[in-house]
Structure 1
């Protein structure tokens, strides 16, 4: 079973930096109907993988022959033949649009023969929307997930404990279901569509070492990347078929990747080393909702220590520091800032982790704004906006733009600030969903500005 973690990095802890003023300025008391129209992303900006085919082959095998739990999958499985897909349940407008766009990308980039059919027809893949409450009541650790051999939520609930939905017993893929909450922000719906449909078609595992993939529980990438599309295209290469062993697939992968990604043959391998289970366990404790903030913070500190002891200087150490920084906001601000700065240094040294660096940048821009360093906040936002646009992260983009608008106000550039605020609110409607959530996020960002604190004090 593929589970998305419940801690999206884009959802900042800015509120921990300062209290929200009780009496907000008039411009923040606008009725929801006065919010600008929702903004959506246009054509995707997809980059080809920039790693060696040797490394990609190892990634493919580790993604394909293991579950996130660590259990081994005995054979390779995929759909054999054209794939049909249907959507049942309440269908939000944004889901229709994002699914159409995603299916087009899968057909064009991964070359998979997949087509949507009416909801009342049988299909290989069923996407069913249910309420977030019902989903998490049944599977508390999941934001959305995919399971084999069932065609509905009722069928899943009836068979979830009897082995029917056990991926390790599968020999080929014929029928499965994706369950996603229909009452969440458009961006969260889209993110679920991308990861779960990718896992329905291809790999079932996630790897923390990956920097360019949605198949990573750090959730920095939330729409399918060039690497992901290459993996899906290789999954449906004619040289492979369901039932093959790991060794059989490994023997065919070099030729497949040479054909699909010839540039990868010319790149040097960079062995990242295995990710030990002890570090994963501590990261999961740090990100998990079932323990106290202090226990989560302690787990993040242990994750940092394990990463350093393992000799890692890559995204895994940076992610440990990022988690520690987030969990230290409002409690140990100096530790939070130091952790963010160290993580930013690691992410900034790798061109493949620009969007990761942008998540850190958002926190650093908030610190700068809170300190009244408006010019510094502007510089941080401007240096990271393009990477966020390329990653199609509307929640993070909205946050950066709203921070920038506050910084512009501090500099007396009110006209620019108002224009940028409206743009940020348009992205926030896609990223955060309801008008109330959008206005609350705007209020939280306003609260960290020295101007807001001064107005509250007066």
Structure 2
């Protein structure tokens, strides 16, 4: 399993400069005077989250049960997983490699949540061996071996050197496991703290439990749209059920299915009274089109056409939720800088789709970034900043609740520009400065933070750039 670079909803806003012609710097963003950025020689200290529970709406246990089974007994490729495998308690974790300062604190927070919310007996160890080894490796080294992966997890190994030796053998085939004894999570050591943390959450969850990702999920890191950055209450429920004493290593799909209903009723009693909403499986054709749209390698025209096909397929299947909204978002993203009318229409439709359900509020917050860029670059119609403020003020609390510092910082940067439009310069400066601590966690290097701030500022027509 791996967290790929197909992060269309992700934190970068570099493409926003395509909305308006601006001079480019070496970072891919505009070159702006320091006074416009509102920065001194140094940035404020990095901010980070405490690791609170990320609560998503309770769904029907029938829905959760189907999701559990599809996540647990199928690989992303569609290959069946014939038996349930998991670690036997206690689970130990060690960290090796070029460990960045943020990794261990974020890992401790994650392990604490797993103990509290998923009821898994898991802890760090200083021993030379552990159930799960996390090795931090320079991104260039990691990508030289696995070009498409931002990070990934493999079974039966405990080091990068061991992985390189067995990478093309059945040793690292998850479907051959009888139980889980060892696994290694490989993360980049030289990227933004948030990217490292996101890798920890997704890959750690799959090291412990289900191996599949499902595009239909609106409330989970087990989804290739990568909307959710940290484990949600749904994910913790799945992991808690996965490690429930009523289940054990080696159980078949049928054996797990026979025991799952009472497990979920006990762990999630509110789900028994929720109405079931049948959802059909995601077609291979839709997945192929989305992957073509999101993956570099195909021509821009081919990627735009693939996104359009994904929109059409979602409509034909009567999907109304994360898949339909994501297809529209992809279409909009790929038309920025090519056809602004199509891009804006697609973003607006994605927002309408996502706003229909509380389960996709975070998705809507991501789309709000794109719409704020259009509103800001257009002078917000009458230039009063109201549209931008409306978009970002509703999205900021959601970004914070879901612990997405990059998204939160980006929204705050847009808010600062909108406040300047209204002549509220002191408020704008305070919001902009507050955004920088979150941006350092979300974007990493100071140069990246300054570039993002400059890109957004360049969209403000009142600055005369």
TM above 0.5: yes
Asked whether 1:55 is paired with 2:66, we answer no
Deviates more, 1:46-55 or 1:411-420: 46-55
Matched with 1:161 is: 168
**Aligned partner of residue 291 in structure 1, secondary structure:** coil
Asked whether 1:132 is paired with 2:132, we answer no
* Partners of 1:26 and 1:161 in 2: CA distance: 51
Instruction: Check conservation: 1:32, 1:435, Cα contact below 8 A.
Output: no
The correspondence for 2:312, drawn from 295, 305, 323, is 305
Q: How many residues align?
A: 453
The correspondence for 2:376, drawn from 369, 380, 389, is 369
The 3 A distance-change label for structure 1 pair 18 and 45 is farther
* Partners of 1:32 and 1:230 in 2: CA distance: 45
Instruction: Check conservation: 1:2, 1:205, Cα contact below 8 A.
Output: no
Asked whether 1:36 is paired with 2:44, we answer yes
The correspondence for 2:84, drawn from 76, 81, 89, is 76
Unpaired runs of at least 5, structure 1: none
Asked whether 1:176 is paired with 2:178, we answer no
Asked whether 1:429 is paired with 2:440, we answer yes
Structure 2 counterparts to residues 313-352 of structure 1, below 5 A: 313-352=320-359
Matched with 2:4 is: 4
Instruction: Check conservation: 2:89, 2:120, Cα contact below 8 A.
Output: no
* Partners of 1:432 and 1:8 in 2: CA distance: 16
The correspondence for 1:200, drawn from 198, 203, 207, is 207
Structure 2 counterparts to residues 133-148 of structure 1, below 5 A: 133-148=140-155
The correspondence for 2:16, drawn from 14, 17, 20, is 14
Instruction: Check conservation: 1:110, 1:229, Cα contact below 8 A.
Output: yes
Matched with 1:386 is: 397
Instruction: Check conservation: 2:151, 2:199, Cα contact below 8 A.
Output: yes
* Partners of 1:33 and 1:224 in 2: CA distance: 36
| Aligned Cα root-mean-square deviation (Å) | 1.4
The correspondence for 1:186, drawn from 186, 193, 199, is 193
Return the offset for 1:26: 2.8
The 3 A distance-change label for structure 1 pair 29 and 260 is closer
Instruction: Check conservation: 1:410, 1:451, Cα contact below 8 A.
Output: yes
Matched with 1:25 is: 33
**Aligned partner of residue 228 in structure 1, secondary structure:** helix
**Aligned partner of residue 143 in structure 1, secondary structure:** strand
Instruction: Check conservation: 1:131, 1:181, Cα contact below 8 A.
Output: yes
Q: Deviations over 1:244-269 (max 9, x none)?
A: 00000000000100111111111111
The 3 A distance-change label for structure 1 pair 45 and 111 is closer
The 3 A distance-change label for structure 1 pair 423 and 79 is same
* Partners of 1:85 and 1:360 in 2: CA distance: 37
| TM-score normalised by structure 2 residue count | 0.95
Matched with 2:224 is: 217
Q: Deviations over 1:124-170 (max 9, x none)?
A: 10000101111111111111000000110111111011211001100
Instruction: Check conservation: 1:19, 1:447, Cα contact below 8 A.
Output: no
Return the offset for 1:5: 3.8
Matched with 2:301 is: 294
* Partners of 1:218 and 1:230 in 2: CA distance: 20
* Partners of 1:92 and 1:19 in 2: CA distance: 37
* Partners of 2:404 and 2:271 in 1: CA distance: 28
* Partners of 1:330 and 1:235 in 2: CA distance: 45
| TM-score normalised by structure 1 residue count | 0.96
Asked whether 1:100 is paired with 2:103, we answer no
The 3 A distance-change label for structure 1 pair 104 and 33 is farther
Q: Deviations over 1:297-346 (max 9, x none)?
A: 11111111111111212221110000111111011100000001111001
Return the offset for 1:365: 1.1
Return the offset for 1:49: 4.5
Return the offset for 1:409: 1.0
Instruction: Check conservation: 2:294, 2:303, Cα contact below 8 A.
Output: yes
Instruction: Check conservation: 1:80, 1:241, Cα contact below 8 A.
Output: no
Runs of 4 or more, structure 1, over 4 Å off, are 28-33
Structure 2 counterparts to residues 228-267 of structure 1, below 5 A: 228-267=235-274
Return the offset for 1:94: 1.0
* Partners of 1:400 and 1:122 in 2: CA distance: 43
* Partners of 1:30 and 1:404 in 2: CA distance: 14
Instruction: Check conservation: 2:292, 2:306, Cα contact below 8 A.
Output: yes
The 3 A distance-change label for structure 1 pair 218 and 29 is closer
Unpaired runs of at least 5, structure 2: 24-29
Matched with 1:447 is: 458
Return the offset for 1:426: 1.2
* Partners of 1:144 and 1:386 in 2: CA distance: 28
* Partners of 1:162 and 1:176 in 2: CA distance: 15
